[in-house]
Amino acid sequence: MDLSILNTPFTLTKEQIAFYTKHAFIKIKDVFPPEIIAYFNSIISDKVAALNEVVVPIEKRDTYGKAFLQLFNLWLEDEKIKELIFSTRLAKIAADLMQVDGVRLYHDQALFKEAGGGITPWHADQHYWPLSSEKTVTAWIPLQATPLEMGPLEFSAGSQNIFFGRELSISDESENVIKSNLRINNFPHIIEAFDIGEISFHSGWIFHRAGANTTDKLRKVMTIIYMDKETTLKKPENSGQENDWKTWCPGVEIGHIVDSPLNPVLYEK
């Protein structure tokens, strides 16, 4: 398999950067060809199957547990997966969208929504991150075409400046409270299928969710979280941020750049 495209620059248009700046998310088609997606689908699926330790039947899990199987930092588990996570093509897109000189890895995660899996409630990712900067972005990489029935990512366009609801972890409460507030404020709710090779990028503070997977197939997604390479660690404000500090930023001191061995620079100009 020729993987050279992983490190071949992708040029964004001024219109795409402006769209992201306004709405805090963007979907980009044809970032990778179908054969590259199929290649990583196979490798990541095998690794998730090998590492998954969830044995509780889906109907007996809570809302978070029904939303997806979640495994982190697969780049440490497999050299082939590392090639995707360290793709300068993706990292450059992240840097260009955020208009920064370079990006570091925060962490990666596989999010596999099982057949019959429930919704992923409304939330903002950065609720969990002890990061001082709002210059964060997640690449959401479906490993197959993702129709509405599979539960693709949904966005509340432009909601990145809303503070109400940021304090809520992913839960039934976050789904109900944030949904109500977003409806009152009349933010556009974007629900669209994903083609093969289409990847979305969303900021840490935009509110987003995903629907249930009503098909009989796994909805497989790989994500990569990037941050401005100059981002510093802030004092954690909740237990999730405390956990993330210890887990994804080991040894970093408050006020210092998040430059642990788990947070390499993936792209810089």
Q: What is the DSSP string of 191-256?
A: E--B-TT-EEEEETTS-EEE----SSS-EEEEEEEEEETT-BBPPP-SHHHHHHHHHHSTTPPTTS
The pLDDT confidence band at residue 100, using thresholds 50, 70 and 90, is very high
pLDDT value of position 55: 72
For residues 45 and 200, what is the distance between their CA atoms, to the nearest angstrom? 20
Q: What is the mean pLDDT of residues 152-165?
A: 96
Q: Provide the whole-model pTM.
A: 0.96
- Burial class (CB within 10 angstroms; exposed 0-12, middle 13-18, buried 19+) of 269: exposed
Assign 64 a pLDDT band (cuts: 50, 70, 90): confident
Q: Is residue 249 part of a domain?
A: no
Query: What mean pLDDT is predicted for residues 135-149?
Result: 98
Domain hosting residue 187, numbered range: 13-229
Cα–Cα nearest to 142, from 197, 93, 185: 197
DSSP state of 31: S
Is 90 exceeded by the pLDDT of residue 185?
Answer: no
pLDDT of residue 60: 75
Give the DSSP letter of residue 86.
Answer: T
- Model confidence band, residue 157 (pLDDT cutoffs 50, 70, 90): very high
Total domains in the chain come to 1
- Inter-residue contact 93 to 12 (CB < 8 Å): yes
Q: Give the residues across from 26 on adjacent strands.
A: 201
C-beta separation of 214 from 164 below 8 A: no
Give yes or no for residue 126 having a pLDDT over 90.
yes
The answer to whether position 3 is within a domain reads: no
Assign residue 171 the CATH number of its domain.
2.60.120.620
State the average pLDDT over residues 175-203: 95
Task: Look up residue 28 and give its two tokens.
Answer: 């980009």
Distance CA 151, CA 210 (A): 5
Q: Is the pLDDT of residue 94 over 90?
A: yes
Q: What is the pLDDT of residues 200-247, one digit of tens each?
A: 999 999 999 999 999 999 999 999 999 999 999 999 999 999 999 999
Sign, Cα dihedral of 267, 47, 214, 37: positive
126 occurs within a structural domain: yes
The stretch 176-198 carries a mean pLDDT of 94
Q: What is the pLDDT of residue 67?
A: 72
Give the ranges where the chain is alpha helix by DSSP (H): 14-23, 34-51, 63-67, 79-85, 88-98, 172-185, 239-248
| Cβ pair 16, 25 in contact under 8 A | no
Average pLDDT, integer, range 155-180: 95
68-81 average pLDDT score: 96
